[in-house]
Structure 1
């Protein structure tokens, strides 16, 4: 049973952070005063610091640190005068989860070739495996290069007797360019597994190693996912390990990469090596809670506008630069903090519609908290969702990319509110990244609820684009997404003000949001990615 504690919890947490955090906070406060000239932005950032400091240990679901973060958010919602919207009169909705993970002790990967010593591959640094309930504890199979794993090439390689019982090794296609027939062709060829090699020339989201963790989390009651797991054993190889794996094959990594950069034909060939693996797989069942609260409406009390962000992060993971805490400051502690700040600003004064505040769990594991909520809603009559994620205030807010902007009447409201602030609204110009499917607005849309999400936009070749791409290379899902990273607080202030105005407009609008007949919310996800 959860109990709401006093705000003294916040004081004790702050003291635990130590002198270094206090100094960092002081420097940030001065920067915010210079850039934003705004007490609201300062208060929002202080809330972010509470959620993203090292004592929160990255807020991995199923940990004591996540539970502390959830309790902190519930306390803030309660202090703002919101009402509980979870289960049994609380602010919490427990979500049942199942975690598969690799224990480093007892997990080994080796490349074997005749006449030479085996080559060890380091888990999460050079190689990774997609875990599922059917993942074997050990396997051993020859490696066969199969180009881009396109269906036609796989069929030819299978006819030549190369693939049956082997691990097909292929360059991972650039985002949006995967062959939709690839998985079926791999299964038809009776391969033992597929190993995707990261292509370092990927322009939109370049691959980065090490990976944070090996774990895979699913809804514990989702038999379609947890019961069957991946249909095909799937591995991932760091590009930097490919030259060693190719030794003795008469082909080089640079030769194959040169072909990949122009998408020239890449030959299929036996690599004259074998991959052997022993996996120590652990299983854990646990719950982690969504935090849910309501600001009751004044007239349309039976209609709810959801405002959402995700509370979870990656927790502790593979160290990068000596730091193993994946704080998730912008992704997404800052925008849970913005929900708290909106609640505090309202002083329990409602809009026409009720507003449902949602801090979801397990978003990073596959939108699991929002999926569970949309399957088991704790309130009826949700008319729309405004989701806060994928927001990076790194440069002035002049362009706001809005996901699903043309799918519902929410898009017109977004454009009107943004125009009053001299912000241009654009549809997603990089749909191949699949961002529409990668955040908590998507489960709402799948259940028929209009929704929008936002990205700070930019023009190609500008300083804004450079900062955005750098963030995805350096900070995204890394310990470097912390409280010390570069932030444009004027841009943060401007987005926060836009969000407050948008919530007020949608919550007070006499007309409820509706889908448009020509909505195009069917952008394809990227096959084969994990």
Structure 2
């Protein structure tokens, strides 16, 4: 029955019947996952002694699959990186209020610099509260309107202005029933998707916007619920050594310092200025909010240790037949954490599921695509570095594309395959954003699976994996995969298995290859990915972002430039 439905869909989209869901090579999935996650690869940290082993292995697998070198005759793309280690003795000193406030590193603040400079010095910088720090013309929202923050320190709230709203009612997203009832079914273009975070809510966006505004420093007020993680995660992730992309301009367009402060620190700071944080935060939720100078000045001084290195993306291609200058992208990251905190004497974070399995899926899809008749459009297979360090490899490719983004149709990213078993559902992260929703609905239906939304939309999951580097610059990329409703065991079992992984194995040495894994779900998802990718590579369609989406304008511009 599924084969019949698949054939109907293939014919309906103009592809050939021979392009029905393929046989996914399960042995490839097992072999690649087991090899990359073995102790011999030492956790696959970028620029470590293990990186050449990864490059050699993935290149060999791509070549054996039938791909051609994807970077003008080369298999790799250089990704220059710099490790910046800030002096932990730093103290942020605030004066000018009713009492001075000193914020200590790790206890009160977590600050770092994107700039490649040996010393960070900020003197007498005026402090301004800019609400959520958002400039969204398509929503008529500008938290920086009417104020010049050049050289100043901006204090910013985490997430979006309407993160407390439990429903979704933004344009381009189907409103929940209660929103439909209260609004007559009309979307509200000033909303930010309610509980579902937009990119404007991500900390990365807030730093970027502060830099565009010319701020000297950008400090986000941490709040566990809208951030979706506690202060301990901030300390472990944003203190100590930070890996960034090295830049020819030494990243001098960035702010001098970025970081976080605790809620308690922010309350002390606002109290010293005679302001109430809670009242201002409430005001910042409403359209038309105006930034508030706090009447304080910040002084900050700390040294930076700089260490330069080179990592690599790995690129293969299957050239298209009649439209080789149009590209469909499959991606997965090869890196993991390397050596980490020991558990029972084991200090290698093997990263079997995250993301040796995704790398295996990339190789398996390459093998399948190479054996099939060539598609009109080219298919690019991209194995990227430094995802765990902040999506650096994918970001570098997107900012320095081998193939123009304006001519990249769309694609699929794989970050961990389903080894729990077949599911009855497909979980979509960031639904309602692009035309790829139609592809998801079609291919999920062919497999007899329903679509379920992500379980924690406030975490901004769409903006936390490699597909986002491309989405941010306009290319529609899919973030979808197995849901939790297992054919064998239902949602209760699926949720329990996911929670067990998240608690006991995620980013820990226990994320190791298990020969008893059930690969049926991985095969199911890879057939789903292949169907979507193959249709993109076969038809004339150019998926776009929905009207009002934060990435629509840049896609329209890149497509216009490409034409």
* TM > 0.5: yes
Residue 500, structure 1, aligned to residue 527, structure 2:
yes
Unaligned runs of 5+ in 1: 1-37, 526-530
Instruction: Tell me: CA distance 1:375–1:203, structure 2 relative to 1, closer, same or farther (3 Å).
Output: closer
Residues 178 and 408 (structure 1), Cα distance of their counterparts in 2 relative to 1, 3 Å cut: closer
SS in structure 1 of the partner of residue 219 of structure 2? strand
Total equivalences in the alignment: 465
Q: Which residue of 2 aligns with 1:10?
A: none
Q: Which moved more, 1:516-525 or 1:228-237?
A: 516-525
- Does structure 2 retain, via aligned residues, the 8 Å contact 1:351–1:504? no
Moved more, 185-194 or 493-502: 185-194
Change (3 A) 1:109 1:248: farther
Q: Give the one of 121, 133, 158 matched to 1:172.
A: 158
Retained in 1: the 8 A contact 2:342–2:509?
no
What residue is the counterpart of 1:72 in the other structure?
Answer: 57
Residues 97-146 of structure 1: per-residue CA shift (max 9 Å, x gap): 2414116xx542236799999885349x9623132146843456699795
Preserved CA contact (<8 Å) 2:343 2:509: no
| Distance in 1 (alpha carbons) for counterparts of 2:91 and 2:538 | 62
Question: Which residue in the other structure is 1:389 paired with?
Answer: 415
Question: Residue 46 of structure 1: CA displacement?
Answer: 4.4
Separation in 2 of the partners of 1:110 and 1:278?
A: 8
Q: What is the deviation of 1:211?
A: 1.1
Partner residue of 2:374 out of 347, 352, 355: 352
Structure-2 residue corresponding to 1:9: none
TM-score normalised over the length of structure 2? 0.61
The 1:238–1:47 alpha-carbon spacing in structure 2 relative to 1, beyond 3 Å, is: farther
Q: Pick closer, same or farther for the CA change 1:241–1:63 going to 2, 3 Å.
A: farther
For 1:16-55, list aligned pairs within 5 A.
Answer: 44-55=29-40
Which residue of structure 2 aligns with residue 99 of structure 1?
A: 82
Matched, 1:236 2:260: yes
Q: Structure 1 CA distance, aligned partners of 2:404 and 2:208? A: 39
CA separation of 1:379/1:263 partners in 2, compared to 1, >3 Å: closer, same or farther?
closer
1:196 aligns with 2:180: no
1:452 aligns with 2:478: yes
Partner of 1:86: 70
**SS at 1:60 equivalent:** coil
| Equivalent residues of 2:329, 2:380 under 8 A apart | yes
What's the offset of the Cα at 1:398?
Answer: 3.0
Deviates further, 497-506 or 467-476: 467-476
Q: Is the 8 A contact 1:164 1:191 kept in 2?
A: yes
Alpha carbons 1:385, 1:450 under 8 Å: kept: yes
What residue in structure 2 maps to residue 279 of structure 1?
303
Describe the shift of the 1:414–1:446 C-alpha distance in structure 2 as closer, same or farther (beyond 3 A): same
- Distance in 1 (alpha carbons) for counterparts of 2:394 and 2:285: 42
Q: How does 1:362-377 map to 2 (within 5 A)?
A: 362-363=386-387, 364-369=389-394, 371-372=396-397, 375-377=401-403
Match of 1:127? 110
Paired residue for 2:244, among 201, 213, 217? 217
2:90 to 109, 125, 130: 109
CA positional deviation for 1:512: 1.4
Specify whether residues 69 and 326 from structure 1 end up closer, same or farther in structure 2 by C-alpha distance, changes over 3 A only: same
Q: Give 3-state SS (helix, strand or coil) of 2:441's partner.
A: helix
Which deviates more from structure 2 when the two are superposed, residues 144-153 or residues 333-342?
144-153
TM-score (structure 1 length as normaliser)? 0.64
Deviation at 1:199, TM superposition (A): 0.7
Task: Look up the match of 1:480.
Answer: 508
Partner of 1:424: 450
The Cα shift of 1:466 comes to 6.2
Which residue does the alignment assign to 1:22?
none
* TM-aligned CA distance change 1:150 to 1:130, over 3 Å: same
Deviation at 1:309, TM superposition (A): 1.0
Q: Is the CA contact 1:198–1:236 (under 8 Å) kept in the aligned structure 2?
A: yes
Q: CA shift at 1:230, angstroms?
A: 1.7
Pair 1:46–1:238, CA change in 2 (3 A): farther
Give the conservation status (yes or no) of the 8 Å contact 1:60–1:66: yes
- Is the partner of 2:50 in helix, strand or coil? helix
Distance 1:75 1:240, change over 3 A: farther
Q: Secondary structure at the match of 2:316?
A: strand
Q: Is the 8 A contact 1:141 1:274 kept in 2?
A: yes
Q: Structure 2: which 5+ runs fail to align?
A: 1-22, 135-141, 161-196, 486-490, 553-563
1:441-497 residue CA offsets vs partner (Å, 9 max, x unmatched): 4555577765423244469xx758966995897589x6327524999954x532433
When the two chains are superposed, the root-mean-square deviation of aligned CA atoms in Å is 5.8
Task: Say if 2:130 and 2:292, in contact at 8 Å, map to a contact too.
Answer: yes
Q: Structure 1 residue 58: deviation in Å?
A: 3.7
Contact 1:218 1:365 in 2 (8 A): no
The secondary structure found in structure 2 opposite 1:417 is helix
- Preserved contact between residue 347 and residue 509 of structure 2 (Cα < 8 Å): no
What is the SS of the residue equivalent to 1:47? helix
Greater Cα offset, 177-186 or 44-53:
177-186
Q: Is the 8 A contact 2:435 2:544 kept in 1?
A: no
**Cα deviation, residue 357, structure 1:** 2.3
Among 398, 404, 415, which residue is 2:424 paired with? 398
